[in-house]
């Protein structure tokens, strides 16, 4: 049976954009029935994400108010994030079963935060999914928005949340871009995952989903390995 992956798009995009971004990877993994992909769209209206406007049509969405503010945390922002977690629970229950989550950028941050949130709330329960794929994603973080017209050198930077270690204990694939200015955060997310179950892939591009043959093959191979890990753990009665 193929992995069934619930897929989450980046900030300020939509499911049509994610479908386009993932098209080469989906095509590769469909060849041997390794995985199927189920995409859901964010519900929060958003400005287009970086590099999106002029190349992809809107409307544009996020899953919660993003980024979460650092210096002036708000109840509305927290409620928005918790609503996104509740929606994932609902989709998993109503449209599942799903084997795993796949998230690009903002979607990967949501997926990681959801897994950590669940593990903290239900420490003695099984994880909500069996595996996860994080593509150019950051750990849960907070960051103040840049002031209009400010010097880019002084722009705020992501501040990773505390108390995140030891909660992602399922097989994972973390993907980072060698030319992505945020790659160190993708590495940080990878290091939050159980070391014996975590696979790291470095592609040659920036903050996007690569579609060239070499990089797609690298990511696809890692997901095929992930599928085997899941099958082995199921056969061992881990779930």
Q: Is 80 a catalytic residue?
A: no
Q: How far apart are the first and last CA of the chain?
A: 16
118: left (phi over 0), alpha (psi -120 to 50) or beta: alpha
Which one of 105, 174, 186, 235 is the catalytic residue? Answer: 105
Which residues are tagged catalytic? 105
């Amino acid at each position: 049976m193929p992995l069934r992956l619930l897929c989450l798009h980046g900030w300020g995009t939509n499911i049509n954009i994610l479908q386009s971004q993932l098209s080469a990877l989906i095509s590769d993994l469909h060849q041997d029935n390794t995985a199927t992909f189920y995409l859901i769209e964010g519900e929060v209206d958003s400005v287009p994400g970086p590099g999106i406007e002029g190349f992809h049509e809107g409307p544009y969405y996020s899953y919660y108010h993003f980024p979460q503010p650092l210096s002036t945390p708000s109840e509305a922002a927290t409620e928005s994030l918790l609503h996104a977690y509740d929606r994932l629970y609902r989709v998993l229950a109503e449209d599942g079963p799903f084997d795993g989550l796949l998230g690009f950028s903002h979607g990967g941050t949501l997926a990681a935060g959801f897994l950590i949130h669940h593990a903290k709330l239900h420490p003695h329960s099984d994880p909500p999914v069996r595996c996860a794929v994080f593509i150019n994603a950051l750990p849960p973080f907070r960051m103040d928005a840049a002031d209009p017209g400010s010097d880019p050198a002084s722009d705020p930077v992501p501040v990773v949340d505390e108390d995140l270690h030891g909660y992602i204990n399922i097989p994972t694939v973390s993907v980072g871009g060698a030319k992505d200015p945020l790659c160190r955060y993708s590495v940080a997310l990878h290091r939050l995952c159980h070391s014996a179950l975590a696979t790291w892939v470095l592609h040659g591009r920036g903050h996007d989903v690569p579609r060239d043959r070499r990089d797609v093959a690298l990511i696809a191979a890692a997901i095929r390995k992930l599928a085997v890990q899941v099958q082995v753990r199921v056969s061992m009665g881990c779930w």
